[in-house]
Structure 1
Amino acid sequence: SRNTLEMIRKCGDEPHIVEYLKCPPTRLLLRQLIARMGVSVRDVIREKGTPFQELGLGDPSLSDDQLLDAIIDHPSLIERPIVVTPLGVRLCRPSEAVLDILPSRANESFVKEDGEKV
């Protein structure tokens, strides 16, 4: 999200942005990121604006491997933004979750695009 990017920049870092639709992550990288975040495969699947429903991904009987197959075939299913820093990996929803893994926090409060102060 733009808010997450701005928070990273405000802390003095320029993020490296991965264009996941042009260069999708491998199955191995996805597994590593999910493990480092300590979440399930389902937690990193985006429903809105994706083929989630038409692929039947809400079916609780689907295995992690089946879900990963769908993500590999349809990278738009990856929930975002996923941020990696030396302090950890987070799915930054809400955007202020990024503050937990930034090496240095901004001294001033941050105002999101919608006017909410963080």
Structure 2
Amino acid sequence: MSITIFHNPACGTSRNTLALIRNSGVEPTVIAYLTQPPGRSALQTMIRAAGLTVRQALREKGTPYAELGLDNPALTDDALLDAMLAHPILINRPFVVTSLGVRLCRPSELVLEILPQPQRAAFSKEDGEAVIDASGQRVRP
């Protein structure tokens, strides 16, 4: 069973997503995408498979988005991809790839849609929000 997460350990959402994957009993392949960004083709494939546009996969907060003028609606997907590859911090995270699909896991619970194995134990996010109960079932607000 292969699961890959494009991870930023400084991001709480990414850490929560990684913890949910591990809570299903699987140790994923963890790619620190800031130092090992995906290639252009892989990035395009992930974005498409997640059902997103390139612009939707672009991260604005805490990035050079504004300085690079990436809010310009005339920019093509190729120009946006060029910026993302030159500045991997512009790639929104975490992307997770499994045999059941690809998701940009914002919020982290979106990973549950594509995990091949069920959750094995209770899980709460870093902020204390309960996500999975003791029987491995999703907690609904």
2:83 pairs, out of 60, 63, 70, with 70
CA distance in 2, matches of 1:5, 1:19: 12
Corresponding letter in the other structure for 2:104: L
Aligned to 2:11: none
User: Runs of 5+ in structure 2 lacking a partner?
Assistant: 1-13, 132-141
CA spacing shift, 1:18–1:107, aligned 2, 3 Å = closer
Give the aligned partner of residue 7 of structure 1.
Answer: 20
Q: Which runs of 5+ in 1 are unaligned?
A: none
Letter matched to residue 13 of structure 1: V
Structure number with higher strand proportion? 2
Taking structure 1 as the reference length, what is the TM-score of the superposition? 0.95
Stretch of structure 1 that moved more, 102-111 or 9-18: 102-111
Higher helix fraction (1 or 2): 1
TM-score under structure 2 length normalisation:
0.80
2:113 is matched with: 100
AA partner of residue 62 (structure 1): L
Letter in structure 1 aligned against 2:54: V
Aligned residue pair count: 118
For 1:36-115, what aligned pairs fall within 5 Å after superposition?
Answer: 36-115=49-128
